[in-house]
């Protein structure tokens, strides 16, 4: 097994190769080394091709190697059969045909239904319930995707400088079309990106963009919720880049980590905010302006004009605003100008850059079917991790398939349940490449080729490894058959203590 250490030595750019296996995220203590950028601290087993029978079921041997089989008392070489449609393990050869035919028939029917939904006109789709709207949205985005057989974009970057290097490489691509697939390669890390690596890249880069020191977004608090809106000091270049990243994330079906303010969502939908919407920017400012419309209030008595004070600077809301007195006759105009200034004018150049680059990837028609609240859910998914939903949408492999009440599985869920929501989200990122869930929850997790791919837990012998290993492209976790709850907790805690995860190949 190859491991990428945290304190890496000389940088070596590993160019994309033809024969790369599935990506795996490894949480493991990294040993010191001299020249090699990849440490071989375990024997590399020869690649074993997994037989695939001609009707679509992958047969996976439950035993890791022959030595392990000999050492384990009463071990039996068994075969596990997993349905390529839903990922559920089939216990016997006799049962798999009925399951496969039923599963594929359901998949075909679902596809027909989705195509019917997708053919609806925009005005009709806007009347759908949220689930049908989501299907319409995703199906119509799929039509925009450029086949990887036609063209794709390859980006080779350092994990230590993801934001700047991605920005630089975007700028070198002529006629950048983010409807094409992007293949991400991290320097000194080996992984074949079939979904997991790009989710990891999106998660890292959006968190970097949202950092206060980047000055692309500023935080807006609305009650207990935190949202992001355009920073007045943001540059045109960075806002254009942020729009590309957010648009690409949505195009790939990767929920974003930070929620945009409803005012910025309204700009994406090309809707103009009203006085009521000002509360999403600043609750106190909204109350102050609303006071003008209270019964018994005479605007002229307030001795105000058409100017406001913004960060110590006097700003005229209209031409000659300093000499225009506020009265009951013009207070409606004043309120609208205040709303326009705080929601658009003060960040006009930056907002235009963000909105235009976003809509170049996600056309306005596709999001116009949603309400603001629905769009918020579709773009940013679920932030609270529901353990029961996680359990219900998990399937097991190896010994855990034989016994889903296995003691190690029981301990695993007990420990995961005890974590804080932020810790659960970090562990989710380790397993899937993303800290957030789609609006459908765990049943909406995607894998290779953007197909639904449930979370899975596979048993591995402690003789093979004492560490957790995840395959983010397949939302899969390898969980050793630990003998004590303390061992399970230690392994999970080790993952949570890592500042970053690295990809490696076996």
Specify whether 303 is catalytic.
Answer: no
Domain stops at, among 343, 367, 402: 343
Instruction: Please name the residue that has the structure tokens 């999970």.
Output: 492
Question: Which pLDDT score, from 0 to 100, does residue 64 have?
Answer: 39
- DSSP state letters, 445-481: -B-GGG-B--EEEEEE-TTT-SS-EEEGGGTEEEEE-
The answer to the question of residue 413 being in a domain is yes
Q: Token pair of 150, please?
A: 């036609």
Do both 403 and 488 map to the same domain? yes
The answer to the question of residue 126 being in a domain is no
The answer to the question of residue 86 being in a domain is no
CATH, residue 232: 3.90.1750.10
In the structure, how many helices (H) and strands (E) does the chain have? 18, 17
The answer to the question of residue 231 being in a domain is yes
Do both 415 and 288 map to the same domain? no
Q: Token pair of 34, please?
A: 């001299």
Do both 263 and 369 map to the same domain? yes
Map residue 141 onto helix, strand or coil. Answer: helix
Do both 263 and 279 map to the same domain? no
Distance (Å) of CA 248 to CA 202, 252, 379: 8, 6, 11
Question: Which pLDDT score, from 0 to 100, does residue 351 have?
Answer: 96
Residue among 495, 393, 430, 489 nearest 87 (CA)? 393
The residues, ordered by sequence, that sit 6+ positions from 478 with a Cβ below 8 Å of its Cβ are 458, 459, 460, 465, 468, 469, 470, 471
Q: Token pair of 205, please?
A: 């880069």
Q: Token pair of 40, please?
A: 């071989």
Q: Where are the beta strands (DSSP E) in 46-179?
A: 57-61, 79-83, 89-90, 152-157
Question: Which pLDDT score, from 0 to 100, does residue 37 have?
Answer: 27
The answer to the question of residue 103 being in a domain is no
Question: Which pLDDT score, from 0 to 100, does residue 191 have?
Answer: 57
Residue 283 exposed, middle or buried by CB count within 10 Å (0-12, 13-18, 19+): middle
The answer to the question of residue 109 being in a domain is no
Rg of the chain over Cα atoms, rounded to whole angstroms, equals 27
Q: What share of the chain is helix, strand, coil (3-state, %, to 5)?
A: 45, 15, 40
Question: Which pLDDT score, from 0 to 100, does residue 489 have?
Answer: 94
Question: Which pLDDT score, from 0 to 100, does residue 121 have?
Answer: 86
Do both 352 and 406 map to the same domain? no
CATH, residue 401: 3.30.2410.10
Q: CA 154, CA 163: separation in Å to the nearest integer?
A: 16
Q: CA 2, CA 344: separation in Å to the nearest integer?
A: 50
Q: CA 337, CA 15: separation in Å to the nearest integer?
A: 54
Residue among 503, 492, 490, 479 nearest 424 (CA)? 492
> What angle, rounded to 10 degrees, do the helices at 162-171 and 236-251 form?
90
Do both 177 and 207 map to the same domain? yes
What sign for the dihedral angle of Cα 40, 41, 45, 47?
negative
- pTM strictly above 0.85: no
Do both 335 and 359 map to the same domain? no
Give the chain's domain count: 3
Do both 280 and 252 map to the same domain? no
Going by their DSSP bridges, the two strands 313-316 and 476-480 should be labelled as: unpaired
Do both 370 and 313 map to the same domain? no
Per-residue pLDDT of the chain (506 residues; tens, 9 = 90+): 323 334 344 333 344 443 333 444 444 333 333 222 222 233 333 333 343 333 333 333 333 344 443 444 343 334 455 565 555 655 566 666 776 667 666 666 666 777 777 778 888 888 999 889 988 998 999 999 998 889 989 899 998 899 999 999 998 877 789 999 998 888 887 655 555 688 888 888 998 999 999 999 998 876 567 889 999 999 999 999 999 999 999 998 888 878 899 999 999 999 999 999 998 888 899 999 999 999 889 999 999 999 999 888 999 999 999 999 999 999 999 999 999 999 999 999 999 999 999 999 999 999 999 999 999 988 888 878 999 999 999 988 888 887 778 999 999 999 999 999 989 988 998 888 778 788 788 887 876 555 677 888 998 888 777 889 888 778 889 999 999 999 999 999 999 988 765 544 33
Q: How far is CA 83 from the centre of its chain?
A: 26
Do both 376 and 230 map to the same domain? yes
Do both 354 and 399 map to the same domain? no
- Which residue out of 239, 431, 453, 473 is catalytically annotated? 473
Measure the CA angle with vertex 114, ends 265 and 83; round to 5°: 110
Do both 367 and 454 map to the same domain? no
Q: Which domain holds residue 432?
A: 2-52+384-504
What sign for the dihedral angle of Cα 190, 192, 193, 196?
negative
Q: Token pair of 340, please?
A: 């326009």
């Amino acid at each position: 097994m190859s491991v990428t250490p945290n304190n890496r030595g000389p940088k070596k750019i590993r160019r994309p190769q033809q024969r790369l296996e599935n990506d795996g995220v490894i949480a493991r203590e990294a040993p010191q080394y001299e020249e090699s950028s990849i440490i071989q601290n375990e024997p590399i087993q020869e690649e074993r091709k997994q037989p695939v029978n001609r009707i679509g079921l992958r047969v996976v041997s439950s035993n890791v190697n022959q030595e392990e089989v000999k050492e384990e008392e009463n071990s039996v070489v068994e075969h596990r059969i997993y349905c390529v449609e839903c990922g559920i393990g089939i216990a016997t050869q006799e049962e798999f045909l009925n399951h496969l035919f039923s599963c594929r028939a359901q998949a075909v029917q679902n596809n027909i239904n989705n195509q019917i939904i997708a053919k609806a006109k925009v005005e009709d789709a806007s009347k759908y319930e949220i689930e049908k709207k989501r299907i319409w949205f995703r199906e119509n985005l799929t039509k925009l995707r450029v086949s990887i057989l036609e063209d794709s974009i390859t980006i080779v970057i350092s994990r230590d400088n993801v934001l700047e290097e991605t920005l630089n490489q975007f700028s070198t691509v002529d006629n950048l079309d983010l409807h094409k697939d992007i293949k991400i390669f991290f320097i000194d890390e080996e992984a074949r990106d079939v979904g997991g690596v790009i989710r990891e890249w999106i998660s890292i880069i959006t968190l970097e963009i949202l950092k206060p020191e980047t000055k692309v977004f500023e935080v807006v608090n609305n009650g207990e919720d935190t949202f992001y809106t355009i920073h007045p000091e943001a540059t045109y270049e960075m806002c254009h880049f942020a729009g590309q990243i957010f648009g690409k994330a949505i195009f790939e079906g990767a929920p974003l980590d930070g929620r945009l303010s409803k005012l910025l969502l309204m700009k994406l939908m090309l809707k103009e905010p009203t006085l009521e919407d000002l509360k999403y920017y600043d609750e106190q400012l909204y109350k102050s302006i609303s006071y003008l419309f209270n019964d018994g209030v005479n605007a002229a008595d307030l001795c105000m004009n058409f100017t406001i004070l913004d960060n110590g600077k006097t700003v005229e809301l209209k031409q000659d605003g300093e000499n225009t007195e506020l009265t009951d006759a013009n207070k409606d105009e004043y309120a609208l100008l205040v709303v326009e200034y705080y929601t658009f004018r003060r960040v006009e150049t930056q907002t235009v850059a963000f909105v235009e680059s976003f809509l170049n990837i996600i056309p306005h028609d596709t999001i116009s079917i949603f309400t603001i609240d629905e769009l918020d859910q579709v773009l940013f998914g679920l932030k609270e991790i529901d353990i029961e939903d996680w359990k219900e949408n998990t399937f097991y492999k190896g010994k855990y398939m034989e016994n889903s009440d296995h003691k190690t599985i029981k301990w695993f869920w007990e420990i995961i349940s005890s974590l804080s929501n932020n810790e659960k989200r970090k562990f989710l990122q380790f397993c899937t490449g993303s800290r957030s869930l789609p609006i459908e929850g765990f049943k909406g997790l995607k894998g290779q080729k953007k197909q639904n791919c449930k979370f899975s837990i596979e048993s591995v012998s402690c003789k093979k490894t004492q560490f957790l290993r995840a395959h983010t492209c397949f939302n899969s976790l390898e969980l050793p058959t630990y003998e004590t709850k303390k061992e399970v907790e230690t392994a999970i805690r080790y993952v949570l203590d890592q500042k970053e995860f690295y990809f490696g190949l076996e």
